[in-house]
Amino acid sequence: MSSQVKIAATYMRGGTSKGVFFMLDDLPPAAQVAGEARDKLLMRVIGSPDPYGKQIDGMGGATSSTSKTVIVSKSERTNHDVDYLFGQISIDSPFIDWSGNCGNLSAAIGPFAIHAGLVPPSRIPENGIVEVRVWQVNISKTIVVHVPIVNGSVQETGAFQLDGVTFPAAEIQVDFVDPADGDGAMFPTGNLIDDLIVPDIGTLNVTMINAGIPTVFVDAAAIGYQGTELQDAINNDEAALVMFEKIRAHAALKMGLIDDIDQAKQRQHTPKVAFVAKPSSYQTSSGKTVLASDIDVLVRALSMGKLHHAMMGTAAVAIASAACVPGTLVNMAAGGGEKQSVTFGHPSGTLKVGAKASETKQNGWIVEKAVMSRSARVLMEGWVRVPADTINAF
């Protein structure tokens, strides 16, 4: 039997997600660069691929929210503290999607960077807020994480309640700077609403946006939903999951993210697919009542082929960006008109996200910054162990 190798790691919750965090220099040399060695190591850490879908022999939690890894290093980029690389690991397939960011875990990068000594002590107040400037490597964007400091240390506990997380914690503001796609228009087709032809489903009105994370929005009623659905209503319906994947794949093709429909299988993390509806009262997964008057719009989103239990942070940026542009499906479901923030209802509760959109002659619609509150906490730190043959093969 192979012996095991220890690798320094930190297990953290960020927003409604959690993952295993590594310093780049702590990884074995072969895994410090992109490629097969890195992917196999991280999959083994998480416990994928697992045909049972449970990730029992790894750190993953058998959901898209908990099958995640993060690699952090000191940034050499001007005005940035750290570089942050995110890997979304498939549960049952030997695959890591590096195509997008995790907005929830973005909140944890600031505290992790401070704990790891990547922020100069001179920048850390005795009491107050320290801004950690993060370069998000997957999407080449800047994120600013506002970390609360008490008595010279990161404040992780507090009274801030985030729907989708059971226990309260300290509030962390996360700014996604210029979140639209840096290589193209925020609306990749140039349209606020497109006709998307999906075989066996029909032609759907959709809003496709590259902000936070590439996302396609569909009107809930057009596909037979109300927008108040919880996880079981979608995730226990195989026909529904097949439908959503078809929508996602054909949207990916129309957005220019893939060249052939079959490539969608190798790009599971992006784009996201979400459906929206006008406000309506409903009960959350924890039994709490959300009133129609509490929200501007209802949104349900899928991640890695399943309805998310709350909302992905990057998808929240996409929601806010689309809501603040008059004429999109999200904006119209939210009542139309100009907006600078939106409060949306998701399966676990509500979330308010700010975004300032403006239309320019040169680049069309742009969003300068999207802002939301998250929380984060170190759950465990030390080492993960992986069988030595995972590393020795390289």
Q: What gap in Å lies between CA 92 and CA 125, rounded to an integer?
A: 45
Sequential DSSP letters for 157-178: --SB--TT-SS-B--EEEEEES
CA neighbor of 70 nearest in space, from 9, 142, 134: 9
> Residues near 150 by Cβ (< 8 Å), separated by ≥ 6?
127
> Residues near 265 by Cβ (< 8 Å), separated by ≥ 6?
none
Decide if 59 is catalytic. no
Residue found by looking up tokens 């080449």 in the block? 140
Structure tokens at 122: 């001179």
Say if residues 173 and 371 touch (Cβ distance below 8 Å). Answer: yes
Structure tokens at 4: 């095991």
Q: What gap in Å lies between CA 360 and CA 86, rounded to an integer?
A: 31
Decide if 43 is catalytic. no
Burial grade of 245 (CB within 10 A; 0-12, 13-18, 19 or more): middle
Q: Which of 186, 255, 312, 332 is catalytic?
A: 312
Q: Which of 102, 304, 311, 372 is catalytic?
A: 102
Bridge partners (DSSP) listed for residue 86: 70
Burial grade of 134 (CB within 10 A; 0-12, 13-18, 19 or more): buried
Active site residues: 102, 312
